[in-house]
Amino acid sequence: MKRIFSTLLISLILVGGAFAQRFVTKTGHIKFYSDTPVETIEAHNRQVNSALDIESGDFVFKVLMRGFEFEKALMQEHFNENYVESHKYPNATFVGKIMNPKEIDFGKEGTYGTTVEGDLTIHGVTRKIQEKGTFTVRGDKIIGKAKFKVLVDDYDIKIPKAVIENIAEEIEITVDVELDKLKS
Amino acid sequence: MKKALKIIGILVIVGIIAAYGVYEFVINKSHPDYEKLQAEYSMQVVELYNQFQDDEDAAGQKYNGKMIQLEGTMNKVESSDSLLTAVFVFNKGMFGDEGVRISMLPSQHENLKEIELPADVKMKAYCIGSTDSDVVLKKGSIVQH
């Protein structure tokens, strides 16, 4: 798992050729949101790495789990130590593709709908996902947005019985990345 | 009868105080004051970067989730959204400049903006891991400049 992300990025750079086709960020934002009658929990991570190759449609993320910040310190502790076990699984990754790169004119400003498909790895468990989102082209930037849900159980995340009423079975993930053109 | 009521009353009051204490100091406890936290390790920035380059897993086990005091030459300050990030560059890679990135505490933003670059600094921050291209820390504060 360790270097899969790097390997994919290297191949992403080498296969396509020119740097002008790559857009990257190290400060992407991912929010997760859990809502139950007992409690609403949300956490933000604003240090997300992401890269997009507009020619091939390759799209990758790497998220450091300890980068998530919660309003309550105790929830942040439980998230890292008990639920996602950040000491064992420090990262989450997404390695996939946008399904319609030819339908998006990355040279023309505007907002385009897209579907992204690939492997999402959280807590050491990899599952195939396909989700809808948008890309907005604005000047030299591409802004990617998506909102989707993941089942906690799908990623083998165990919630203790004592707090099972506090955490939703389905967590809403919001992705918001502002990608800059990679300069050679 | 009167004595029993008195004991029950005391127990109720103790129970309320204990419940308040658990809520306030356990369930609702505040985040640590990162600026005041003691660093568990102290080293040159490049040393931390090299350790993650050499063995990411071993370095992650040792430093992730720990406060570290780092000393080195800060090359850049990047601003995005609500983040201000001190950047120590050691390499050029697929993501552009690569090295050690420290997102600063909001209380440190003004101090960081005033520093002329490049600058030798000593900082303290909480290590959250490596993205392959960078070692990433958060809640940074300037110890010395």
Q: Which of A14, A24, A27, A75 to mutate to test the interface with B (most CBs of B within 10 A)?
A: A27
| DSSP state, residue B25 | I
Write out pLDDT tens, residues B28-78. Answer: 788 899 999 999 999 999 999 999 999 999 999 999 999 999 999 999 999
Neighbours of B8 (CB within 10 A): 10
> Could you tell me if B95 lies within 8 Å of chain A, comparing CB atoms?
yes
> Domain count of chain A?
1
Q: What ipTM did this prediction achieve?
A: 0.85
CA distance A56 to chain B (A): 16
Between B31, B82, B129, which is nearest A64 by CB?
B129
Say what percent of chain B tops pLDDT 90: 70
Q: What is the pLDDT of residue A6?
A: 58
B13 or A126, higher pLDDT: A126
Distance separating alpha carbons of residues B42 and B124, to the nearest angstrom? 9
Q: To the nearest whole number, what is the mean pLDDT of chain B? A: 92
H helix intervals, chain A: 4-16, 73-78
pLDDT band at A16 (very low <50, low <70, confident <90, very high): very low
Phi, psi angle pair for A18, to nearest 5°: -65, 140
Cβ B81–A27 below 8 Å, yes or no?
yes
Distance separating alpha carbons of residues B54 and B66, to the nearest angstrom? 19
Cβ B95–A86 below 8 Å, yes or no?
no
> Could you tell me if A9 lies within 8 Å of chain B, comparing CB atoms?
yes
Q: Rounded mean pLDDT of B83-93?
A: 94
Cβ A66–B64 below 8 Å, yes or no?
yes
Which CATH number fits the domain that encloses residue A147?
2.40.128.110
CATH number of the domain located at residue range(s) B41-144 in this protein: 2.40.50.140
Domain range spanning residue A151?
A: 4-181
Which residue in chain A has the smallest CA separation from B32?
A73
* A28-67 residues touching B, CB cutoff 8 A: 29, 46-47, 49, 51, 62, 64-67
Write out pLDDT tens, residues B107-145. Answer: 999 999 999 999 999 999 999 999 988 999 999 999 998
